[in-house]
Amino acid sequence: MTDNRFADWPEGLQKEMQENTHNGCVGSVLVSETDRVRVWHLHLPVGKRCTFHRHVLDYFWTCHSHGKARGYFEDGSVRDVTHFPGDTKHLNYGKGEYMLHCVENIGDTDLLFTTVEFKQSANPPLDVPDSVRLKVPA
């Protein structure tokens, strides 16, 4: 029997999801990190998509721009959302819970988000590479 959950997905997206099941990069750049929080910026130009990533920590995001986004989720669902400046959502995960998804900009304006993860959550933070950390000139 064929799994049709991903029938509406663009070609190659399911493979990308499988390759990024433990990707902890929930934004474009990690702009600040302490023992308590990680602060991310996400910039999605028109027609672009961030890669799949896994949320394991309690967090919130705030949108800074008007626009339309399409989310692709691990269960095969696809959801379209209209965002506006100040649009904010809080999410929480219990021990062992997570969300694996990616976001595509399907509107006609760039999308800008700030995401704040709380490191003292039910799950330990996922590792992130140094390449996503903001480089501040010395």
Q: Say what the pTM is.
A: 0.93
The β-bridge relationship of strands 99-105 and 78-83 is unpaired
CA distance 100 to 74: 6
What are the tens digits of pLDDT across the range 81-99? 999 999 999 999 999 999 9
Instruction: Give me the phi and psi of 19, to 5 degrees please.
Output: -80, -10
Fold classified for 27-123: Jelly Rolls (2.60.120)
Residue among 128, 137, 138, 117 at smallest CA distance from 36: 117
CA distance 19 to 13: 10
Q: How high does pLDDT run on average in the chain?
A: 96
- Average pLDDT on 105-131 reads 98
1 has a pLDDT exceeding 50:
no
pLDDT of residue 7: 87
138 pLDDT band (50/70/90 cuts)?
confident
Delimit the domains of the chain by residue range.
27-123
User: Cβ distance 44 to 111 under 8 Å?
Assistant: yes
pLDDT of residue 2: 53
65 has a pLDDT exceeding 60:
yes
CA distances from 80 to 53, 69, 104, 106 (A): 18, 6, 9, 9
- Average pLDDT on 47-67 reads 98
121 has a pLDDT exceeding 80:
yes
- Average pLDDT on 67-81 reads 97
What are the tens digits of pLDDT across the range 16-43? 999 999 999 999 999 999 999 999 999 9
